Structure 1
Amino acid sequence: TVLDPSKAIYVPRGVGNSFQALEDGTAYTYLVNAHWSLEQKKTYTFVNLADPELNIQWPIPLEESERSEADLKHPMLRDAKPMAPRRTMVTGCNGQLGHAIRDYVEEHGLEGFEFNDIDTFDFSDPAQYGRFDWSLYGTIINAGAYTAVDKAETPEGRVLAWKANAQGPALLARVCAEHNITLVHVSSDYVFDGTAELHDEEEAFAPLGVYGQSKAAGDIAVANCPRHYILRSSWVIGEGHNFVKTMMMLSNRVADPGDGLNEVTVVDDQYGRLTFTSDMADAIFHLLDSGAGYGTYDLTGSGRVESWAGIAKAVFDLTNGNGDRVRPISTEEYFRNAKAPVSPRPTYSALDLAKIEATGLDVPDWEKSLKAYVAKELTK
């Protein structure tokens, strides 16, 4: 029966036992008995539920409705358990950046994280990927890398560098592409030759040594993953052995009258900014949480560009006030008597931060971060 043909809603057959819509404040239902014959179903019946003369109870009580076997066995919405969010895997968790990521996760009470290093998941080994159900993961943060720049120039080190920095990221990129996983990967200023005083994300690769070449290859592989973030860093400082801790130790030796060390030489013809791993971890989660566009982002500390010798003087002054005991020296002179292979270094390593700052990230000044870092180390 059509009580108001001008407002009838025509729906295709096969929509189920009932169809309800709301138009101009009037509710309609298309009533079809599941056991009607095909000929009966060809007849559309429209009922104006707003008509007070019909006296139809709506909605139909659940116990009086017609439900399929699947509906009867399905839990009520209040009893249904929501799907758990997809997990996040962190590789290379025992390195400087890995420690910073773990600290961030713990400080912010984040859940669903899995931390692996080479002893539990060697991401450069194709045979190990079958151990995981990748449908459970939504993000992989690759904090692992081979960073022994000079050892990478040896026959043994060259193999290790390419395995960790190129083959591993390529395998991660492939599994992430296959399972719609977001891949976060950390790059290096060593993918450039260092001739430009400031490097942006669009500069072409021109690595000088094996380490830089292997990192560039890894970047190319990761960039082919549809959902990826590449964060390019320089002069990384975090937990474990690093330049700042070495300079603090040398400052203490110079300050000790009985040690016999009066000064240290540090190269003054390489220029850049420090990248603190805590700042890198903040940037990673900022990109993931803000929904920033996928791609490559430069991330170091902000502020002025300085030489290694200038940074060493600052560390000496913050540690013992003896920055005058740092003697600048050229890179050529520093490595003149080296017995082992030495990788060429970029002269300029400063990275352009405009792109990541445009996402709303407030990048800390590396000099302020350095002061806080040294102060914390002095209390240990």
Structure 2
Amino acid sequence: MDKKPLIPATGSNMKAQKRVAVIGASGYGGLQTIRLLQDHPKFRVSFLGGKRSSGKSWNQFFPFLPLDEHLTIQDPNPQKIAEAADYAVLSLPNGESSQLVPKLLEHKIRVVDLSADFRYRSLEQWSQVYAHESSRLHRNDPVLCKEAVYGLAEWKEEEISHANLVAAPGCFPTASLLPLLPFLKQGLIEEEGIIIDAKTGTSGGGRAPKETFLLAEASESISPYGVVGHRHTSEIEQLASEIAGHTIQVQFTPHLVPMVRGLLATVYGRLRDPGLTAEDCTTVLEAIYRDHKTINVLPVGTYPATKWVKNTNKAFLSVQVEPRTSRLILMCVVDNLVKGQAGQGVQCLNIMDGLPANMGLPNTTFYP
């Protein structure tokens, strides 16, 4: 596939709003993408795709999120999308994007996929991790898997800028990798024994009804799940290994907490140099992220709260060192639906279109 952008990002194209199709518009990822694009100065929503809601007027179906341009939700036909859009953001169940993406690329549509379909460089690995989805689908797109760019925007900006297909990371990998990668890149922590303890709100499970996420089940409770073999473990390991230059394995345990939005990842590793302090490690994060407005590195002794990033595309990072054990403790909070999903998708759109990465994205929460 041609590596050059299918849609030029310079000249007169910068002056007009680019058209964006949102496929899977009625799910949480789609709804959040539409909300973010409503306030964007360079993009506008021009096509809404969905199967269950096909044929319904958007403004009647979602009166709390009206669009100025009165659109009807349509079946995601590639030809119709190509006629209406320059970019497509796909917020579909795992497995479904892979059936649509090749056709969109043939029609010269640049794609940001919020699902896991193209996050792995290897189709074989995706098929192993997503065995249930793989068993009911026929995929034969190993080249696309290799060419798709993993959309962790702060680490893949150059590649994203030239990409035709960007696979936005999962929310857990985003919050886990942002604090961890700088220390792997600098070789400051030991490769073995990395532990990630993460907690997320119920919206991380999507909009489709699930017993676990019922109010009566989730309220006033916290519970681990996917303790061994969670799908995001291998996704985290893939980029961690790439940045480190050799194989990295992590122990990842997610937890469900009784809130709608928010994700906290606490990452533990052992420092190679026991003389490093929390101040030294904070300096490492500040140096890596000094030019990234999406990232706030907190002073030593200040620990992040999910409420600080609610409804924003920000990530707050903090670090502490336990001198008795030379243990590095990294903390990161994100809004799982914004920086952990749709916001990161729009961030990738910005980069693909040659715009500032955080253009049009919310940076400040409403507190409390």
TM-score bin (small chain): 0.3 to 0.5
Name the larger-Rg structure.
1
TM-score normalised by length of structure 2: 0.36
TM-score normalised by length of structure 1: 0.35
